[in-house]
Structure 1
Amino acid sequence: MAGLSAAFAVQRLQLAAKAAIAAGIAFAIAPFMPGTAAEYPYYAPLGALVAMYHNVAGSVRQGAQTLVGLSMGIGLAFLLVNITDPSPLTVAIFMGAGVLLGGLPKIGSGSDWIPTAALLVLLVGGNNADDYSFGYLVQMGVGVLVGIAVNFLIFPPLHLEAAAASIEDLRVALGTQLTDMAEAVKEKWPPEHEEWSRRSDDLSGAARSVRHLVKEADASRRANPRRKLHPRDIDRDYRNLRELERVTFHIQDITDVLSDVIWESDVPYVLPEQDTAPLAGAMAATGELLKAYNEPDEKLHHESYRSALAAVEACVATTAERAPDERGVPASESIILSLHRILRALQTPDETQPAV
């Protein structure tokens, strides 16, 4: 995942540079705003920063939500001024009301601005609340528009590569987990290498991270003029993600079953010795299929799939011929079922497999 960290560092630098540009532009044009709004130029760069988000659609949404929250907060402050004089009790009541209003649906990032705007109008605006509110809202609006424009016009971010890389990294990690477990099955027990037994939580965390990145990639395409220059089938990414989430679940199950068989003495299942060789072969073949899944040579991919399927079928044949084990339920049957489901998740429309 080191490559992803580097990509994020670049994206952060780009976001920081655009935020700086937007804040500078907003502050430069702020003095030219009409009427008393020109007296509050420092709110324009704040609006630009508020609207700066790591995708264009997010900038529009966040900027709009902020302005809605500001408007509600200013309205709340005027309501207080018209009803009674500000006092510790009334301020406390109206701040509580502002927080409650922030819980309204679709307010989003604007929720925090409701009590903030109300308090600023009361404390900073004071006797000049009308002019202050006008200047505050106008300058923030100008800043938001500048921020959105800068994010749209200057290298609008696309997070497609990060999503694609994360999918491939997860696929390789899952394949490695299977091949490492295959080696453990072939070793004398307890196996010398046991790192694989501690990766279950890491795999689920990686799957969650991939889902987040795919969603970010999808969001970064919206309202982005660069999407036509960088076409990508995001629906395919979602399909690949769902497949890998199912594969992750089954590999975690294999990990837990194998760990229990090796290191726990009170489990009701065992791994018969005659199953270890074919089971290791099936796990290794499925792991190699995962690691080479994006192989551009379609013929090679089909060969890898057929090899994995044949190895799993060999396991099925072995377990069918084996005599019942009086020590407990054979764990190999559970592992074979998980391998079969992994292959089903990975198969393409022209690849078929018999029922197990």
Structure 2
Amino acid sequence: MPTTTDNLFRKTGRLLRPSLSSVAGQVRGMLHYTRIQLAVKAALAVGIAWTLAPLVPGVAAQYPYYAPLGALVSMYPTVFGSAKAGFQTLVGLVVGMALALIALLFGGPSVWTIALIVGVGVLLAGIPKLGAGREYLPMAALFVLVMGGDDPDGYSTGYAVQMLVGVAVGLTVNAAIFPPLHLSGAVNGLKSLRLSLARQLKEMGAAISETWPPEHEAWSNRRTELIAFSKEVRESVQLAETSHRGNPRRRRHGRDLSADYEALRAMERVTLYVEDMTEVLATAIWTSPEDMPVPAELAEPLSEAMTACGEAVETWDADSEEHTQARDAVRRLQIEMNTAASPDSPVDVTASLAMSMRRILRTIRAEEEHQ
């Protein structure tokens, strides 16, 4: 199944096709490399676990096949994810085994005890904090009941110990051999979102200057795509933050992920403003132009303001010339609105768009000042 990051790059290509196609292609290649790297590390961890399993002392040596399973279930794309999944899996196994051992105190396995314990195990697996361990809780209970034979205690001990060995091997391999830092997804995701928003504003500005209804209407179909895209970028930034935790390579890659989160939150607010502007303008053009017109005398200053605002979003620098030009363009638009306002020339649409543009520019400045 496609991952969230795969969807992110697919949508990046659709929103920004030709401007970011090369960037998206480079990142896709890196993702394929990361998957291959994870596969190689998983194979290595399973091999090491299988080699070490017979060397474990005591009854656990009789169940070597659980060590590779433990290595496999702990192999996640991030070091923190591996540690978390491994711990949760062990907790789920212990709870399931304890459940089965309690059931065996009242008699051997039967159709009734197996059905009851598995049912209770599935119920307990609904506990959200168990995480990855939810899948193994009822399975462990079933295995102890059915495969424990005359020595369920020994089987449970061997099962748990070998899984622990496998998890330890998997975590060690994942942390020692090029643990991935998914920073490129966050960097390129934020860049793609910023450029997507800038392009949307510029295309809307161009549409206003055309003869109505405009011939170019691709921008009007992105009302929900921008919101969905921003959510995928958030997941990409979260993945970068997770890969940073517990990763020994993080000191050599001192990226400030808190700044990325600040930038993301600011861009999410801008995304909402742009989505609202898209809805307002599309409604004014195609749905009810008689109720929400844009006066002819305001078309040019509105187009200039939106285009300048797009340039400011693309630059994303409150001290830049583009930001200053956008602010001045919005001010000129406000002056023209005050002049044009009359019962015969309503400015509802223009006022709404101008307000959103002022909010966009304030958001960029506030995000930079916060840093």
TM range (shorter): over 0.9
Q: Is 2:121 aligned against 1:98?
A: yes
1:142 matched residue in structure 2 = 165
What is the rounded CA distance, in whole Å, between the counterparts of 2:41 and 2:368 in structure 1?
48
- Matched letter for residue 63 of structure 1: G
Amino acid at match of 1:302: S
SS at match of 1:270: coil
Higher mean alpha-carbon deviation, 165-174 vs 102-111, is at 102-111
Given that 1:51 and 1:144 are in contact with CA atoms closer than 8 Å, whether structure 2 keeps it comes out as yes
Worse overlay, 223-232 or 341-350: 341-350
How far did residue 266 of structure 1 move?
Answer: 7.2
Contact 1:309 1:343 in 2 (8 A): yes
Alignment of 1:1-356 (within 5 A): 1=9, 2-3=24-25, 4-265=27-288, 268-293=291-316, 302-326=320-344, 330-347=348-365
The amino acid across from 1:261 in the alignment is A
| Amino acid of the structure 2 residue aligned with 1:205 | A
Name the stretch that deviates more: 95-104 or 339-348. Answer: 95-104
**2 CA distance for matches of 1:116 and 1:349?**
49
Distance 1:267 1:6, change over 3 A: farther
- Extract unaligned runs of 5+ from structure 1: 352-356
What is the alpha-carbon root mean square deviation over aligned residues? 1.8
Hey, what's the Cα distance between the residues in 1 that align with 2:367 and 2:50?
57
Q: Is the 8 A contact 1:70 1:114 kept in 2?
A: yes
Provide the C-alpha distance between the structure 1 equivalents of 2:345 and 2:111, rounded to a whole number of angstroms: 75
Secondary structure in 2 aligned to 1:132?
helix
What secondary structure, in the 3-state scheme, does the structure 1 residue paired with 2:179 have?
coil
| Structure 1 runs of 4+ with >4 Å offset | 348-351
After TM superposition, give the deviation of residue 86 of structure 1 in Å: 2.1
Contact preservation (8 Å) 2:266, 2:367:
no
Q: Quick one: which amino acid aligns to residue 182 of structure 2?
A: H
Separation (CA, whole Å) in 2 of partners of 1:111 and 1:316: 58
Change (3 A) 1:236 1:349: closer
The letter for the 2-side match of 1:194 is E
Q: Could you tell me which amino acid in structure 1 is paired with residue 135 of structure 2?
A: D
Deviates more, 1:58-67 or 1:99-108: 99-108
CA displacement at 1:267 relative to structure 2: 7.0
Q: CA deviation at 1:243?
A: 0.4
**Partners of 1:291 and 1:157 in 2: how far apart?**
29
**Alpha-carbon deviations, 1:212-237, whole Å to 9, x = none?**
11111111111111011000111110
Distance of 1:211 and 1:326 partners within structure 2: 45
Q: How many residues align?
A: 346
Separation in 1, partners of 2:368, 2:245: 33
C-alpha separation in 1, matches of 2:95 and 2:285: 62
Q: 1:349 and 1:128 mapped to 2: Cα distance?
A: 63
Q: C-alpha offsets along residues 130-183 of structure 1, whole Å, 9 cap, x if unaligned?
A: 222222111111000000001110011111121011001100000000001111
Structure 1 letter corresponding to 2:351: E
What do the CA deviations read for 1:239-258 (whole angstroms, capped 9, x no partner)? 10010000000000000001
State the one-letter code of the partner of 1:190.
Answer: P
**Closer, same or farther in 2 for the Cα pair 1:187/1:64, shift >3 Å?**
same
Structure 1: distance between partners of 2:341 and 2:119: 72
Task: Describe the shift of the 1:126–1:64 C-alpha distance in structure 2 as closer, same or farther (beyond 3 A).
Answer: same
SS in structure 1 at match of 2:135: helix
Residues 179 and 284 of structure 1 are in contact (CA less than 8 Å); yes or no, is this contact kept in structure 2? yes
Q: Give, in whole Å, the separation in 2 of the partners of 1:167 and 1:173.
A: 10
Task: Output the CA distance in 2 between the equivalents of 1:146 and 1:350.
Answer: 44
Higher mean alpha-carbon deviation, 122-131 vs 301-310, is at 122-131
Whether the aligned pair in 2 keeps the contact of 1:269 and 1:327 (CA below 8 Å) is no
Shift of 1:329: 5.3
Question: 1:305 is aligned with what amino acid?
Answer: H
Q: TM-score, structure 2 length as denominator?
A: 0.89
Q: Secondary structure at the match of 1:269?
A: coil
